[in-house]
Amino acid sequence: MSTEKPKVAFYWCASCGGCEEAVIDLAEDILKVVEAVDIVFWPVALDFKKKDVEAMKDGSIAVSFINGAVRLSEQEEMVKLLRQKSGLVVAFGSCSHLGGIPGLGNFWNKETIFRRAYITTPSTDNPDGTVPLEKTEVDGKELTLPRFYDTVYTLDQVIDVDYYLPGCAPPPDLIMNALQAILEGKLPPKGAVLSPNKSLCDDCKRNESKPEKLTIKEIKRPWEVELDPEKCFLAQGVICMGPATRTGCGERCIEANMPCRGCFGPTDQVIDQGAKFLSSLASILDTDDEKEIEKIVDTIVDPAGTFYRFSLPSSILRRRRMEDIK
């Protein structure tokens, strides 16, 4: 009988490192993980290289957990390699699931992002206006960098994905449940998001404080009001993505008296989280008068950035129209 433990890989693409932190946040449970599996690739923690992965047999990694969105050619290459070597691929966290915060880059393109990041930010000192190049000559030798795409992609827009672990970052209990399900072979149908399929409002303690008919006369940003720690945010005129967001996060933001920003993405019934939220928000604006409606809409400073904070690349439109960007 073979005593070989299942092999597991972790990889990061366009992400902040918070998802790696989430693995560490398993605390003592990480010992159970290490006992049950062999971690064969994890750039942030272990010294295995790309060539080690290349040397593995196709499909020999039981599961690869990949966090981060895909925005560089290098990331695309690595995730395609991991796909080939893995039995299962799990999109780990908001960025690989939906595009996440890096996905907001889809309101811009490569040129405008480089201009901002390397030239016009107040803290930048770059008199020659140097920006990263894919090829540079140095002492007769050619140095290369990965290609920076105009568009940020979700993981499943680049490779086939088996499961999704939502969240920024995914909470420890969902990670452990997913690991257990994988180890015991008790997985739901392919393509499932490994968190309950209902909206955050269903689990929210503040739901009881919600008035019978919820209406809003003016939209305020969280810093403009002293937030009541028990009252429904929407009833306080503050945008909370709860109605259009999947539950399972443990309401960490709500507990800290901050409204939901939507990192778990929509439920299975919804394609486009931002449009769905827009629809529900519009329905509770408390007026039938055209001018009044426009006045309230004016108080929503950045609808696209707010409704798609974590999900722009996974949305129906995916990105801002290219020819509009100058």
Partner 1 sequence: MTYAPNIRIIRVMCSGRVAPQFVLKAFIEGADGVLISGCHPGDCHYQEGNYNALRRHRLLSKMLEQFGIERERFRLEWVSAAEGVKFQQICDEFTEQIKKLGPLNLNGGKDEHREA
- 256 in contact with partner 1 (CB under 8 A): no
In whole angstroms, give the CA distance from residue 277 to residue 8. 36
What does residue 57 show for φ and ψ, rounded to 5 degrees?
-75, 145
- 307 in contact with partner 1 (CB under 8 A): yes
For the chain, the farthest-separated pair of C-alpha atoms sits apart, in whole angstroms, at 75
Residues 193-252 that bind partner 1 (CB under 8 A): none
Question: Which member of 36, 131, 235, 317 binds partner 1 (CB under 8 A)?
Answer: 317
Give how many residues touch partner 1 by CB under 8 A.
Answer: 43
In whole angstroms, give the CA distance from residue 123 to residue 73. 28
Alpha-carbon distances of 79 from 99, 168, 183, 311, 324, rounded to whole Å: 15, 20, 22, 20, 31
Instruction: Give the dihedral sign, CA 116/118/123/129.
Output: negative
- 74 in contact with partner 1 (CB under 8 A): no
Q: How far is the CB of 294 from partner 1 (least distance, A)?
A: 6
Q: How far is the CB of 105 from partner 1 (least distance, A)?
A: 11
- 276 in contact with partner 1 (CB under 8 A): yes
Q: Which two tokens stand for residue 102?
A: 């890096």
Q: How far is the CB of 241 from partner 1 (least distance, A)?
A: 14
Q: How far is the CB of 168 from partner 1 (least distance, A)?
A: 22
Alpha helix positions (H), 126-264: 172-183, 200-203, 252-255
Question: Which member of 64, 75, 278, 311 binds partner 1 (CB under 8 A)?
Answer: 278
- 156 in contact with partner 1 (CB under 8 A): no
- 1 in contact with partner 1 (CB under 8 A): no
In whole angstroms, give the CA distance from residue 192 to residue 142. 44
Site residues for partner 1 per CB under 8 A:
73, 76, 107, 110, 147, 149-151, 153, 270-272, 274-276, 278-279, 281-283, 285, 288, 290, 293-294, 297, 300, 302-305, 307, 315-325
